[in-house]
Structure 1
Amino acid sequence: MTRFPVRRLLALALASTLASTYGLPALAQTVEPFTVRDIRIDGLQRIAAGTVFTYLPVERGEVMNQVEAGDTIRALYRTGFFEDVRLERQGDILVVTVVERPAINKLTVNGNKDIKSDDLLKGLQDIGLAEGETFDRLSLDRVTQELNRQYNNRGKYNVQITPSVSQLDRNRVDVTIDIKEGKAAKIRHVNLIGSENFQNEDILDTWESRASTWMSWYRRDDQYSKEKLSGDMEKLNSWYLDRGYIDFNIDSTQVSISPDKRDMYLTASITEGEIYTISEIKVTGDTILPQEQVERMVIPKPGNTFSRALLEITSDGITNTLSNIGYAFARVNPVPTPNREDRTVAINLQVLPGPRVNVRRILFKGNTRTSDEVLRREMRQFENSWYSQAAIDRSKIRLQRLGYFETVEVETPAVPGTGDQVDVVYNVKETTSGSFVFGLGYSQLAGMTTSIQLSQNNFLGGGNRVSVEAQRSDYLQRYAFSYINPFFTDEGMSLGYNLWWRELDYSDFNTAQYNSTNAAAQAVLGLPITENSTISLLFGIDSNQIQTYSGYTPAAIVDYVHAIGRRTFHAWRSELGWARDTRNDFFMPTRGTYQRVGLETTLPGSTVEYYKLNYEVSRYWRLSPAFVLRTGLDLGYGDSYGNDIVRDICWTMPTQENPTPGASNPCLTTSPDYTRTVTATGLPFFENFYAGGTRSVRGFRDNTLGPRSEALGGYRGQPLGGSLKTVGQIEMVFPKLFDSKAARVSAFVDFGNVYSGTDDFDAGELRASAGVALLWRAPVGPISISYAYPFKKKEGDEIERLQFTFGGGF
Structure 2
Amino acid sequence: MTRLPTRRLLALALASAIAAPAMAQSSGMVPAFGSEQQPSQAPAFGMQPAPAASPSDFVATDIRIDGVQRISSGTVLTYLPIERGDIVTQAKVGDAIRALYRTGFFENVKLSRQGSILVVTLQERPAINKLTLTGNKDIKTEDLTKGLNDIGLSEGGTFDRLALDRVTQELVRQYNNRGKYNVQITPTVSPLDRNRVDITIAVKEGKAAKIRHINLIGTDKFDQEEIRAGWESQEHNWLSWYRRDDQYSKEKLSGDIEKLNSYYLDRGYVDFSLDSTQVAISPDKKDMFLTAGVTEGEQYTVSDVKVSGDTVLPQERVEKMVLVRKDQIFSRRLLEVSSDGITATLANVGYAFAQVNPIPTVDREKRTVAINMQVVPGPRVNVRRIEFKGNSRTADEVLRREMRQFEGAWYSQAAIDRSKVRLQRLGYFETVDVANQPVPGTRDQVDVVYTVKETTSGSFVFGLGYSQLSGVTTSIQLSQNNFLGGGNRVAIEASRSDYLSRYSFSFTNPYFTDDGVSLGYNLSYSDLDYSDYNTAAYSSKNTAAQAILGIPLSESDSVSLMFGVDSTQVSVYEGTTPQAIVDYINALGSRTFHAWRSQIGWARDTRNDYFMPTRGIFQRVSAEISLPGSTVEYYKLNYEFSKYWMLSPAFVLRTGGEVGYGDSYGDDVTRTVCYDPTTGLAVSCDTSGAASRTLTASGLPFYENFYAGGVRSVRGFEDNTLGPRSEPTPYYSDGQPLGGSLKTIGQLELIFPKLFDSNAARVSAFIDVGNVYDGYDNFKANELRASTGVSLLWRAPVGPISISYAFPLKSEDQDKVERLQFTFGGSF
TM (norm. structure 2) is 0.93
In structure 2, what is the equivalent of residue 6 of structure 1?
A: none
Matches within 5 A, 1:197-276: 197-276=221-300
1:569 aligns with 2:593: yes
Structure 2 CA distance for aligned equivalents of residues 742 and 303 of structure 1: 51
In structure 1, what is the equivalent of residue 768 of structure 2?
A: 750
* More off after superposition, 141-150 vs 29-38: 29-38
After superposition, the Cα gap between the structure-2 partners of 1:137 and 1:29, relative to the gap in structure 1 and judged at 3 Å, is: farther
1:777 aligns with 2:824: no
Question: For the Cα contact (< 8 Å) 2:36–2:111, is it kept in 1?
Answer: no
Question: For the Cα contact (< 8 Å) 1:650–1:672, is it kept in 2?
Answer: no
- What amino acid does structure 2 have at the position aligned with 1:770? T
Give the number of aligned pairs.
Answer: 794
Deviations along 1:692-737, whole A, 9 cap, x unmatched? 1111111212111111111111532111111111111111111111
Q: Once the 2 structures are TM-superposed, how far is the Cα of residue 661 of structure 1 from its aligned partner?
A: 8.2
Question: For the Cα contact (< 8 Å) 2:436–2:446, is it kept in 1?
Answer: yes
1:44 equivalent among 68, 75, 97: 68
Q: Once the 2 structures are TM-superposed, how far is the Cα of residue 36 of structure 1 from its aligned partner?
A: 1.7
2:699 equivalent among 678, 682, 695: 682
1:603 equivalent among 614, 627, 633: 627
In structure 2, what is the equivalent of residue 731 of structure 1?
A: 749
1:158 equivalent among 176, 179, 182: 182
After superposition, the Cα gap between the structure-2 partners of 1:178 and 1:611, relative to the gap in structure 1 and judged at 3 Å, is: same
After superposition, the Cα gap between the structure-2 partners of 1:269 and 1:785, relative to the gap in structure 1 and judged at 3 Å, is: same
* More off after superposition, 257-266 vs 74-83: 74-83
In structure 2, what is the equivalent of residue 497 of structure 1?
A: 521
Matches within 5 A, 1:610-621: 610-621=634-645
After superposition, the Cα gap between the structure-2 partners of 1:339 and 1:183, relative to the gap in structure 1 and judged at 3 Å, is: same
Q: Once the 2 structures are TM-superposed, how far is the Cα of residue 81 of structure 1 from its aligned partner?
A: 1.4
1:786 aligns with 2:810: no
2:605 equivalent among 571, 574, 581: 581
In structure 2, what is the equivalent of residue 708 of structure 1?
A: 725
1:669 aligns with 2:686: yes
Q: Once the 2 structures are TM-superposed, how far is the Cα of residue 440 of structure 1 from its aligned partner?
A: 7.6
Counterpart secondary structure, 1:412: strand
Counterpart secondary structure, 1:144: helix
Question: For the Cα contact (< 8 Å) 2:30–2:90, is it kept in 1?
Answer: no
In structure 2, what is the equivalent of residue 762 of structure 1?
A: 780
After superposition, the Cα gap between the structure-2 partners of 1:125 and 1:446, relative to the gap in structure 1 and judged at 3 Å, is: closer
In structure 2, what is the equivalent of residue 410 of structure 1?
A: 434
Q: Once the 2 structures are TM-superposed, how far is the Cα of residue 87 of structure 1 from its aligned partner?
A: 2.1
* More off after superposition, 224-233 vs 799-808: 799-808
1:320 aligns with 2:344: yes
Deviations along 1:554-608, whole A, 9 cap, x unmatched? 1111111111110000001000100011111111212111100000010111100
Q: Once the 2 structures are TM-superposed, how far is the Cα of residue 662 of structure 1 from its aligned partner?
A: 2.7
Q: Once the 2 structures are TM-superposed, how far is the Cα of residue 34 of structure 1 from its aligned partner?
A: 2.4
After superposition, the Cα gap between the structure-2 partners of 1:468 and 1:67, relative to the gap in structure 1 and judged at 3 Å, is: same
* More off after superposition, 378-387 vs 714-723: 714-723
Q: Once the 2 structures are TM-superposed, how far is the Cα of residue 15 of structure 1 from its aligned partner?
A: 6.8
Deviations along 1:676-707, whole A, 9 cap, x unmatched? 22221111110000111111111212111111
After superposition, the Cα gap between the structure-2 partners of 1:672 and 1:50, relative to the gap in structure 1 and judged at 3 Å, is: farther
Q: Once the 2 structures are TM-superposed, how far is the Cα of residue 26 of structure 1 from its aligned partner?
A: 3.6
1:401 aligns with 2:425: yes
In structure 2, what is the equivalent of residue 176 of structure 1?
A: 200
- What amino acid does structure 1 have at the position aligned with 2:810? K
In structure 1, what is the equivalent of residue 714 of structure 2?
A: 697
Identity %: 71
Question: For the Cα contact (< 8 Å) 1:527–1:536, is it kept in 2?
Answer: yes
Question: For the Cα contact (< 8 Å) 1:434–1:781, is it kept in 2?
Answer: no
After superposition, the Cα gap between the structure-2 partners of 1:441 and 1:614, relative to the gap in structure 1 and judged at 3 Å, is: closer
Question: For the Cα contact (< 8 Å) 2:511–2:518, is it kept in 1?
Answer: yes
Stretches of structure 2 that go unaligned for 5 or more consecutive residues are 1-28
Structure 2 CA distance for aligned equivalents of residues 794 and 502 of structure 1: 34
After superposition, the Cα gap between the structure-2 partners of 1:297 and 1:718, relative to the gap in structure 1 and judged at 3 Å, is: same
Question: For the Cα contact (< 8 Å) 1:690–1:704, is it kept in 2?
Answer: yes
Question: For the Cα contact (< 8 Å) 1:436–1:807, is it kept in 2?
Answer: no
- What amino acid does structure 2 have at the position aligned with 1:378? E
Matches within 5 A, 1:208-607: 208-439=232-463, 450-472=474-496, 475-607=499-631
- What amino acid does structure 1 have at the position aligned with 2:716? G
- What amino acid does structure 2 have at the position aligned with 1:683? L
Question: For the Cα contact (< 8 Å) 2:30–2:91, is it kept in 1?
Answer: no
- What amino acid does structure 2 have at the position aligned with 1:320? A
Structure 1 CA distance for aligned equivalents of residues 710 and 235 of structure 2: 41
Deviations along 1:1-28, whole A, 9 cap, x unmatched? xxxxxxxx97569979758567763444
Structure 1 CA distance for aligned equivalents of residues 118 and 689 of structure 2: 126
Show structure 1 runs of 4+ deviating over 4 A: 9-24, 440-443, 445-449
In structure 2, what is the equivalent of residue 124 of structure 1?
A: 148
Deviations along 1:352-387, whole A, 9 cap, x unmatched? 111111111111111111111111111111111111
Matches within 5 A, 1:139-150: 139-150=163-174
After superposition, the Cα gap between the structure-2 partners of 1:720 and 1:89, relative to the gap in structure 1 and judged at 3 Å, is: same
In structure 1, what is the equivalent of residue 26 of structure 2?
A: none
Question: For the Cα contact (< 8 Å) 1:436–1:781, is it kept in 2?
Answer: no
- What amino acid does structure 2 have at the position aligned with 1:802? L
- What amino acid does structure 1 have at the position aligned with 2:103? T
Structure 2 CA distance for aligned equivalents of residues 629 and 163 of structure 1: 46
Question: For the Cα contact (< 8 Å) 1:435–1:807, is it kept in 2?
Answer: no
Q: Once the 2 structures are TM-superposed, how far is the Cα of residue 105 of structure 1 from its aligned partner?
A: 1.6
- What amino acid does structure 2 have at the position aligned with 1:38? D
Structure 1 CA distance for aligned equivalents of residues 41 and 272 of structure 2: 54
Structure 2 CA distance for aligned equivalents of residues 639 and 668 of structure 1: 32
In structure 1, what is the equivalent of residue 91 of structure 2?
A: 67
* More off after superposition, 467-476 vs 710-719: 467-476
Counterpart secondary structure, 1:59: coil
In structure 2, what is the equivalent of residue 3 of structure 1?
A: none
- What amino acid does structure 1 have at the position aligned with 2:113? R
Q: Once the 2 structures are TM-superposed, how far is the Cα of residue 670 of structure 1 from its aligned partner?
A: 4.1
Structure 2 CA distance for aligned equivalents of residues 806 and 782 of structure 1: 6
1:53 aligns with 2:70: no
Q: Once the 2 structures are TM-superposed, how far is the Cα of residue 615 of structure 1 from its aligned partner?
A: 0.2
Q: Once the 2 structures are TM-superposed, how far is the Cα of residue 88 of structure 1 from its aligned partner?
A: 2.4
After superposition, the Cα gap between the structure-2 partners of 1:14 and 1:210, relative to the gap in structure 1 and judged at 3 Å, is: farther
Question: For the Cα contact (< 8 Å) 2:677–2:691, is it kept in 1?
Answer: no
In structure 1, what is the equivalent of residue 10 of structure 2?
A: none
- What amino acid does structure 2 have at the position aligned with 1:134? T
In structure 1, what is the equivalent of residue 648 of structure 2?
A: 624
Counterpart secondary structure, 2:521: strand
After superposition, the Cα gap between the structure-2 partners of 1:475 and 1:71, relative to the gap in structure 1 and judged at 3 Å, is: same
TM (norm. structure 1) is 0.95
Stretches of structure 1 that go unaligned for 5 or more consecutive residues are 1-8, 655-659
Q: Once the 2 structures are TM-superposed, how far is the Cα of residue 106 of structure 1 from its aligned partner?
A: 1.6
Structure 2 CA distance for aligned equivalents of residues 681 and 509 of structure 1: 24
- What amino acid does structure 2 have at the position aligned with 1:786? S
Structure 2 CA distance for aligned equivalents of residues 295 and 312 of structure 1: 14
2:824 equivalent among 789, 800, 806: 806
- What amino acid does structure 1 have at the position aligned with 2:770? G
After superposition, the Cα gap between the structure-2 partners of 1:477 and 1:29, relative to the gap in structure 1 and judged at 3 Å, is: farther
Deviations along 1:255-302, whole A, 9 cap, x unmatched? 111111111111111111111111110111111111111111121211
Question: For the Cα contact (< 8 Å) 1:434–1:780, is it kept in 2?
Answer: no
Question: For the Cα contact (< 8 Å) 1:538–1:575, is it kept in 2?
Answer: yes
Structure 2 CA distance for aligned equivalents of residues 594 and 650 of structure 1: 52
Question: For the Cα contact (< 8 Å) 2:36–2:49, is it kept in 1?
Answer: no
In structure 1, what is the equivalent of residue 15 of structure 2?
A: none
Counterpart secondary structure, 2:69: coil
